[in-house]
Structure 1
C-alpha cells in the first residue's frame, strides 16, 4: 500500500512540477496522504543526497586535476578528457543541489504560511499558544538549516569557475608547459574544494538534525 502511495505521489509530483503550480501540487499530495510537512522532510533528504553526490563529483575533479598536475608523460589528451568529464559532472551535480535547495525553501514557506493561518482556527488559547511556540521553534530550526545549505551552495560557484578556467586553458594549450603553468592555481583550488567539502558536511549534519527533529515531533 505504501509503495502504491509513493508511486502515485511520484506521478503527481512529475505532473505538477511540469505545470509549475505548487499550490495545486500540494493539494494533490494531501489527497494521497502526503502533507507539506512530509514533502519538506523528503526534500531535505533529497537535498542532502544531492550534496553528497556533489561532494563525490568535486572530489573526482580534484583527483583528476591532481593526476594532470602530476603528469609525467603519456596520453595527455586522455587525461584532459577525463578532467573535462569530471568538471561537467560537477557542474550538473551543483545545479541539482541549487534546484533542491530552492524546492526546500519553497515548501517550507508554504508550510509556515499554512501553519500560521491555521493558528486562528484554535478555540483553545492554550493549544494555540503551544502550536504558535512550536511554529516559532520549527522556523528557527529551519532557518539554521537553510543558512547552512546556502552557505555551502555559495562555495560551489568559485570552485566551478576555477575548474572551468583550468579546463578551458588546457583545452587550448594541451601540452606539458600548460600543465606546468596551472600548477600555481592548484593549491588554491585544492583549498577551496576542501572548504566546500567541510561546509557541505556541516549542511548534511544540519539536514540530519532537522529531519530527526521533524520526525520526533510527528
Structure 2
C-alpha cells in the first residue's frame, strides 16, 4: 500500500513539474514577443518572421528525410562494412530525423501563438475606424489572413501526421539492421526500403503543400494578393 501511495505521489509530482515547465516556456515566449514589440516590432512583422521561420523549418525537415532515405538505401544495399557500424550509422541518422521532425510541432505552436495575438489586436482596431469603407476593407483583409493562416496550420499538422509512418519505417529498419543483414533477407529488405521511400515521397508532398500555404500567407501579410487557387 505504501509503495502504491509513493508511486501515486511521484506520478502527480511529475505531472505537476511538467505543467510548471510548459507554463514557464509559454511565459518565456510571451516575454520574448513583448520584448520584440517594445523594440518597435509590429505584431504583423513578428508574425511574418514566425511564418518565414516555419517555412524554413519545413524545408529543413524535408531535406533531412530525403537525406535519411538516401543513407538507409546506401548503407543497407552496401556489401561493405561491419554490421555494428551499419547499425550505428542508421541509428544516428534516425535520431537526427526524429529530432528535426519535432520542429514541425514547434512551428505550429509558434505560428498559433503569434497569430492569435496579431488577430486579436487587428480585430480590436476595427472599432477605431471612423470610415466604414476603410473598416470594411481591413476586416476583409483580416478574414482572408485568418483563413490562410488556418490553411497553413492544417497543412503543417497534416505534414506532421505524415511524418509518423516514415519514422516508424526508419525505426524498423534500424532495428532490423542490428542482427539481420544477410543475403537471405535482401529481398524483404528491398521491399521495406521501397515502402519507406513511398512514405517519404508522400511526406515530402505534404511539406511542399505546407510551404505553399506559408508563401500565400506571407503574400497576404505583406499586402499583396496571393494567386487565386483552383476550386
Range of TM-score over shorter length = 0.7 to 0.9
In the alignment, which of 175, 181, 188 is matched to residue 175 of structure 1?
181
Structure 1 residue runs without a partner (length 5+): 1-16
Deviations 1:175-207 (A, max 9, x none): 325565433322211100011112212222222
Deviation at residue 121 of structure 1 after TM alignment: 2.3
Larger Rg, first or second structure (1 or 2): 2
Aligned to 2:146: 139
Does 2:115 align with 1:115? no
Residue of structure 2 equivalent to 1:56: 63
What residue is the counterpart of 2:110 in the other structure?
103
Q: Aligned-pair RMSD on alpha carbons?
A: 2.2
Give the TM-score normalised by structure 2.
0.77
Structure-2 change in CA distance of 1:140 and 1:40 (3 Å): same
TM-score norm. by structure 1 comes to 0.82
SS at match of 2:200: helix
Instruction: Write the distance in 1 (CA, Å) between the matches of 2:204 and 2:81.
Output: 31
CA contact (8 A) 1:170 1:179 kept: no
Residue among 26, 34, 55 paired with 1:20: 26
Task: Say whether residues 1:35 and 2:28 are aligned partners.
Answer: no
**65, 68, 73: which one aligns with 2:75:** 68
Q: Per the alignment, in what secondary structure is the counterpart of residue 216 of structure 1?
A: coil
- Equivalent residue in structure 2 for 1:207, among 183, 206, 214: 214
